[in-house]
Copies of this chain bind each other. A is one copy, B any other.
Amino acid sequence: MNDVEKKVIEEIVINTVKKLLAAKDSPDRVVLGISNKHMHLTQEDIETLFGKGHTLTNKKDLKQPGQYAAEETIKVIGPKGNFDRVRILGPARPESQIEISLTDARSIGIKAPICESGQLEGTPGIILEGPCGRVELKQGVMVALRHIHMPLDVAQKLGIKDKDFVCVETSGIRKTIFCNVLARVSDEFDFEMHLDTDEANAAGLKNNDYLKIIPNR
C-alpha cells in the first residue's frame, strides 16, 4: 500500500468515526433495544412457579437502570401452542404481564391488544408453568406500544413532554417511519427506544442501531 492509499483510508476512517460519534451525541438520535417476548412477574407468582421464598437471579443487566434479564424462564401455554422458555425480566412487579409480538400471538392462538406496559385492563389471560407450579393469569397478555425511554434533559432539548407521541425514522433498504411512538419521560430512564421483533424485522434493524426522532405525523 502506498502513502496516497494510506491517506485515503485514514480519511475514510476519520470521517466515518466522526459521523458515528455525531449521530451518537445528537439528542435526536436514539439507540434501539429490541424486545423479544418476555414476562414480568409478581413475587407471589414467582414463588408459585419456582418455590416458596424464591427470588429471581440476575443473569444480565438491561440498559434501563435496575432492570435485568433473569436466569429463570417459564413455559407459557396458549390456546393453540406453547412457548417453552420465556425469559423473565426482574425485579418483581406489582402485576404479572407477558409482552409478545403479533407474530407470537398468532403462533399460540391468542388475541393480544397493542397497549402501554402496565395497562392490563381488557387483556387476555394465559397459563404459566414453572418447575414448582402453575399460574393461571386472568389478564396480562399484551403487545407493547412502541415507545422511547427518555431522561428529562433529553426531553427538554427536544421539546418533548411525557406521554407525547413522536415519529422515529430508520434508514436502509427497509427504511421505515414509525409513527405514534410514545415518549416516556423520567430521570429514572436511560435514553433508549423499544421496538418488538416484528417492528425491528420489518425495518431490518439490529440491537444498538441509532434511529432519528422526528415530529409525529
What residues make up the interface of A, taking CB atoms closer than 8 Å to B?
A: 101-103, 106, 114, 145-146, 173-180, 197-199, 201-204
Distance of A115 Cα from B147 Cα, bound (Å): 29
Contacts A103-B197, A103-B198; is A114 near B180 (CB within 8 Å)?
Answer: no
Chain copies in complex: 2
Q: Which of A176, A180, A204 has the most CB of B within 10 A?
A: A176
Min CB–CB distance A36 → chain B (angstroms): 10
Expressed in whole angstroms, the minimum distance between the Cβ of A37 and any Cβ of chain B is 11
Q: Establish whether residues A102 and B173, one from each chain, have CB atoms under 8 Å apart when the complex forms.
A: no
A114 touches which one: B103, B145, B173, B176 (CB < 8 A)?
Answer: B173
Closest A-B pairs by Cβ, 5 of them: A202-B202, A102-B201, A175-B179, A177-B177, A198-B201
